[in-house]
Structure 1
């Protein structure tokens, strides 16, 4: 898996450009949850996109990623933004996050499904709870096991059997950097109950990409995409709609 992200690192920012609207939504939440002077851990920091945003707001950041190439991209971005001092970058697999100091962080973020590549979410949840101060905030952004747009695509292509089975398979393969990388998929409520409930209170859960189409669906006029986005906004935190997005977010508070 490491080789996939090493290969993807040089072009990663371009690859995720189509979902910049989703990044902006997460940033809006980070701005509400974290304040200048606090310390936030960015798990699977990638090329440092979120680390730069947080550091520009006066937040101290530690960013970890298993890929040296991703960390190199992050470091270059921080140098260009003159933000090296408030950001500590480390080459570290998320599975080893438990080696960091206890109660060292006011918040922890993990965006764009960085945790979806981990088969041991329970161990990660235990570790990050120990790293947070009491009532510290954890924000996880995960791939959903069932999405409305994927179901519609299967129905449109008349793959009715696959549409009926959608959501049953807990693992899905994605091609990253020319390599196949397995991702572990969850339903929002099940993920909270299974991995986080014993250690965290659920402050907020919402789906993203419920009505707004994936950027890979290019035949939909931009005006319609904008309209779908506006329609989606009030639905994101409501059941059953929150369970229909391509991604979901759990905002958690350490007990």
Structure 2
């Protein structure tokens, strides 16, 4: 797999001038600071759910045994693409764990998130990298219709369901495609609609009405946010022609969601077994289709 990816990963020798968010902001001449001008229009009363979660996010997810195992599934594929000196876009960066991983590999990272709490957490975590990691309070919608700012990038990543909160996935996918250089990659890790692990958890607790909530047409409302759970088939349909679908892998088919953390702590050998099964079979149907998350891989053509 790594060899087939590497054969098509080159970028042009003469790269267009990059535009990022420096100390003075970016945009068309005279536009002022794009990040500041949009924040009040896009974020007010929108992301308080993740603001509330930011303080304990690493403790409850990132630093747990299951959280590390699940993130490693994404990093295994991410690491086949990255090279020192690349410039990547991190969409919905959360607490900045992926940006930190990329920066340690010598990658320049531009991260965005709609949650002010997550942005502050990501900035603290990556403060030691200086200008190598820039974190901005921006929602996905800020990228739509503003092709003159941000990019071009050698690749982009959106991890652990951030895109499930996008208001219009087709628009966001098109906006990402316009910012990738030819040959650049896009890894999108989304929450899927069919999750037997979640059914088991909910049904055992008598929460029958919630068991199949991800399969509801039109998505669900959660803490003031609207969340959709697109199937892999739908993602393929809305993908613009500039993004070539390469492959998909499960991120949480054998490995359970992190609310099973206490159970897996009591059974560490079982966790290792499930992790091995995920690594061996996670790309084989139907496991991506029944995973808590699935990782879709695209390349800009």
The interval holding the TM-score normalised by the smaller chain is: 0.7 to 0.9
Q: Give 2:15's aligned residue.
A: none
> Among 79, 83, 104, which residue is 2:129 paired with?
83
Equivalent pair of 2:143/2:175 in contact (CA under 8 Å)? yes
2: CA distance, partners of 1:190 / 1:54:
29
From the CA coordinates, give the structure whose radius of gyration is larger. 2
2: CA distance, partners of 1:93 / 1:154:
31
- Once the two structures are TM-superposed, the CA of residue 189 in structure 1 deviates from its matched residue by 2.3
**What runs of 5+ residues in structure 1 fail to find an aligned partner?**
none
2:249 aligned with 1:201: no
Equivalent pair of 2:86/2:154 in contact (CA under 8 Å)? yes
Q: Give 2:255's aligned residue.
A: 212
Q: How does 1:71-110 map to 2 (within 5 A)?
A: 71-79=119-127, 82-98=128-144, 99=146, 101=149, 104-110=152-158
Q: How does 1:10-49 map to 2 (within 5 A)?
A: 10-17=55-62, 18=64, 19-49=67-97
User: Larger strand proportion, structure 1 or 2?
Assistant: 1
- Once the two structures are TM-superposed, the CA of residue 4 in structure 1 deviates from its matched residue by 1.6
Q: Give 2:225's aligned residue.
A: 181
> Among 192, 208, 214, which residue is 2:236 paired with?
192
2: CA distance, partners of 1:211 / 1:111:
19
Relative to structure 1, is the Cα distance of residues 10 and 166 closer, same or farther in structure 2, using a 3 angstrom cutoff? closer
Equivalent pair of 1:102/1:130 in contact (CA under 8 Å)? no
> Among 57, 61, 75, which residue is 2:109 paired with?
61
RMSD of aligned residue pairs (Cα, Å) = 2.4
- 1:166-210 deviation per Cα after TM superposition (whole angstroms, max 9, x unaligned): 734441344xxxx343311011122122x2152311122011111
